[in-house]
Amino acid sequence: MADFKNLLLQAHEKRSPLFDVTDAYRVVNGAADGFPGLTLDKFGDRFQIQFFGPELLSQKKAVATAIADIFNPVCLVVKERLSRAGKSLENAPMEVLVGSPADSVGIVHEGPAQFNIDLLDTVNPGLFLDMRSVRLEIGKRCAGRRFLNLFSYTCSFSVHARLGGAEIATNADISGKILDKGRENFKLNGLDLRPGEFFRGNAIEYVHWAQKKGLKFDGIVLDPPSFARFKGANFNVREHLMPLVADCATILNKGGFFMVSSNYSEFNLNAFARDVRDAVASVHGNAQTAWKRSQDIDFNGSGNTKDSCLVATLVEV
């Protein structure tokens, strides 16, 4: 028990630069923080443990007790992403170890923004922690600009864009339920819902529709899942991402920016950034890479395991 407590305290201290920025961050990122096969995410005073490997599964209660003793959470949820046979689970079972299921819902802060979260959501609590620094930058780039958020999920990029003064922040996602959560995030931040800001449908469909309508944007974020299905059609990030990047570039205004990212573990950051720039340059010959990066400091050891990897790059035209 003492070892778990000390490891937690050491891991938490490493995240101290984030304390004034947000109350939502990863406290433990697997073996790099002394907890192989386990992650611990903090969402305000709510915490979620995820098991990606068997190493500490038999000590689940001891780990949970250490977390409860140090952080005194309102709610602690554990998510087992590995079956007893050692196979990855798409629909991982969840268990509330501290608090009740009703306590899983809350609000977190990130820079000037607030977001609704639910630790018992089957996909994600509502905010992907590894894109924090990008969201904060998007907010600073969007004053007076038209912004497009593809595969928008709960519209967190767009909340930052609108808080940063965007003229419009359009969200495209295949899930109406998810877009409703995006609308709730807008309302939580005191943002009015403007015409054309929520589009239910395939991101590719939206881009083609925008091309036909002559719509243009000053900033675009493209953060797709590795795989997706919509109306019988499959999206495979390895096969379809770069053609979609080139398509998106046709609706990007000169002087604009384009951020593309992926959690697909087979991508190499340098090659990914080069390929994105080249795809944008097929439309905008002056395209230049502004930056390329991986996960934030709370994702200690990022890139060493398939469950903790990110490639992201921003291109300016």
Read off the CATH number of the domain in which 42 is found: 3.30.750.80
If you average pLDDT over residues 89-109, what whole number do you get?
92
Longest dimension (CA), the chain: 62
For position 86, what pLDDT does the model report?
A: 58
Query: CA 228 to CA 209: how far, in whole Å?
Result: 20
- Write down the pLDDT at residue 232: 67
| Structure token digits, residue 239 | 């096969």
By the 10 Å C-beta count (0-12 exposed, 13-18 middle, 19+ buried), 67 is classed as buried
The residue from 110, 144, 179 where one domain ends is 110
Tell me whether residue 123 is in a domain: no
Residues 142, 92: one domain?
Answer: no
> 229 and 302 share a domain?
yes
Number of separate domains in the chain: 2
**Pair 232, 298 in one domain:** yes
Q: Where does the pLDDT of residue 302 fall: very low under 50, low under 70, confident under 90, or very high at 90 and above?
A: confident
Last residue of some domain: 84, 110, 136? 110
* Average pLDDT for the chain: 94
Give pLDDT, residue 175. Answer: 93
Residues 40 and 178 in one domain: no
37 by DSSP, 3-state: which? coil
The reply to whether 54 and 81 lie within a common domain is: yes
Q: 141 and 268 share a domain?
A: yes
32 and 174, same domain (yes or no): no
How far apart, in whole angstroms, are the C-alpha atoms of residue 221 and residue 158? 9
* Residue ranges making up the domain that contains 36: 2-110
Residue that finishes a domain, picked among 83, 110, 137: 110
Q: Which two tokens stand for residue 313?
A: 């790059």
pLDDT tens, residue by residue, 39-56:
999 999 999 999 998 899
Give yes or no: residues 196 and 303 share one domain. yes
Write out pLDDT tens, residues 180-212: 999 999 999 999 999 999 999 989 999 999 999
CA distance 133 to 120: 25
Structure token pair of residue 139? 């907010």
Q: How far apart are CA 66 and CA 80, in angstroms?
A: 18
Residue 140's φ and ψ, nearest 5 degrees, are: -75, -20
pLDDT for res 230: 65
pLDDT for the residue 91 = 74
Q: Is residue 117 part of a domain?
A: no
Long-range contacts formed by 178-185: CB under 8 A, 24+ apart: 178/152, 178/153, 178/154, 179/152, 179/155, 181/116, 181/126, 181/154, 181/155, 182/152, 182/153, 182/154, 182/155, 182/158, 183/155, 184/116, 185/114, 185/115, 185/116, 185/154, 185/155, 185/156, 185/159
**CB of 179 within 8 A of CB of 171?**
yes
> Same domain, yes or no, for 193 and 252?
yes
How far is 176 from 106, CA to CA, in rounded Å?
21
Q: Is residue 190 part of a domain?
A: yes
Q: Is position 243 within any domain?
A: yes
Query: Do residues 26 and 143 both lie within one domain?
Result: no
Give the mean pLDDT of 282-297. Answer: 97
- Asked whether residue 103 is assigned to any structural domain, the reply reads yes
- Tell me the two tokens of residue 40: 């611990």
Q: What is the CATH number of the domain that holds 299?
A: 3.40.50.150
| Residue with token string 């500490």 | 56
Q: Find the distance separating the first CA and the last CA of the chain, reported in whole Å.
A: 54
pLDDT in the model for residue 84: 58
Same domain, 61 and 169: no
In a domain, 122, yes or no: no
Query: Quick one: 105 and 161 in the same domain?
Result: no
pLDDT of 120-147, one tens digit each?
998 899 999 999 999 999 999 999 999 9
Residue 115 lies in a domain: no
For 13-38, write each residue's pLDDT tens digit: 999 999 999 999 999 999 999 999 99
Q: In the structure, what pLDDT confidence band is assigned to residue 93 with cuts at 50, 70 and 90?
A: confident
Comparing CA positions, the residue from 162, 166, 167 lying closest to residue 185 is: 162
Tell me, yes or no, whether 119 lies in a domain: no
